[in-house]
Amino acid sequence: MSAIHPTAIIEEGAQIGENVTIGAYSFIGKDVKIGDNTTIGTHTLIEGITTIGKGNEIFSHAVIGSIPQDLKYHGERVELVIGDDNKIREFTLINPGTEGGGGVTRIGNQNLLMGYVHIAHDVIIGNRCILANAATLAGHVELGDGVVIGGLTPVHQFVKIGDLAMIAGASALSQDVPPYCLAEGNRAYLRGLNLTGLRRHINKDDINSLKSAYRELFSGKRPLRDAALELKNSSNGYVVNIADFVLNSTRGIAYKRSKS
C-alpha cells in the first residue's frame, strides 16, 4: 500500500507502483512512472517522460525530469530513465535527453548521487557509481560501472569515464579517463591506477597486469595508440578493456607523458 501525503500533487496519468511513499508538497507529473518500494521526500518535483525503477530513495527538493538546459531544446519528446535501488540526495537536478543526443538520459542501478549533484541531458551512468556533493556532469557524459567522482568536480560535455575509475574532488575534467584509473587536478589528468577501488573488486594478478599496462601506455615513450594496439592482444580482459577505451576515445585521454 502506497503512502501519499495529502498535500502531494499527483497528476492524472502518472503511474505509481506498490508501497511507494510520496512526501508533503511533492509534485508528480502526468507522464511519470514510479516503481514499487520507492520513497520520495518532501518538496520533490518529478516531471517529464520519466521512468523510475524499484526501490529508489529520492530525498527532498530533488528536481527530476525537468527540461534540458540546452538552447537547442524546443519541446521535443525526450526521456529520463532511472533504474533500481538508487539513492538521490537533496537538491539533485537530473534532466532528460535531447533530440541531438539520442533523446534519453539513462541512470543504472545502485548509484549514490549526493546533494546538489547535476546530471545534464543525454548523460549515461552505469551501476554502483558514487557522485559526491555538487559533482556536475555536462551533456552527453558517459560513466561506466563503479565510477567515483569527488565533490565539486565538473565534467566537460562528451567526456567518457571507464569502469572503476575515480576522479578526485575539486578537479575539473575535460578529457576521457580510462577504466581503473585515477585522475586529479584542474585540469585533471591521470595520476595512476585507482588501486583502492581495484583491490575491492579485482584480484592481485589482474591488478599487476594492469600496472604493467598502465606503465606501457602512460609512462613509456611509444605513441599511445601504438601501445594500446599491442595491449589489445593481451590475454587479460582488464588490459583489453583499457586498451579498447584508449583506442575508442574521441576527446583524448587526460594524461601527461612522463618526462623521465
Residue 178 lies in a domain: no
pTM for the structure as a whole: 0.97
Does one domain contain both 116 and 205? no
> What is the extent of the structural domain holding 203?
198-248
pLDDT category at 258 given cuts 50, 70, 90 is: low
Does one domain contain both 154 and 209? no
Does one domain contain both 205 and 140? no
Number of domains the chain is built from: 2
Does one domain contain both 149 and 25? yes
Q: What is the pLDDT of residues 25-81, one digit of tens each?
A: 999 999 999 999 999 999 999 999 999 999 999 999 999 999 999 999 999 999 999
Residue 174 lies in a domain: no
Does one domain contain both 122 and 57? yes
Beta strand pairing call for 136-137 and 118-119: parallel
| CB-count exposure of residue 36 (10 Å: 0-12, 13-18, 19+) | middle
- Separation between Cα atoms, residue 208 and residue 213, nearest integer Å: 9
Does one domain contain both 131 and 226? no
Q: What is the pLDDT of residues 129-188, one digit of tens each?
A: 999 999 999 999 999 999 999 999 999 999 999 999 999 999 999 999 999 999 999 999
Residue 46 lies in a domain: yes
- Separation between Cα atoms, residue 204 and residue 201, nearest integer Å: 10
| b/e per residue 89-121 (b: at least 16 CB within 10 A) | bbbbbbbbbbbebebbbbbbbbbbbbbbbbbbb
Does one domain contain both 145 and 208? no
Q: Where in the sequence numbering do the catalytic residues fall?
A: 121-122, 139
Final residue in a domain of this structure, among 158, 187, 212: 158
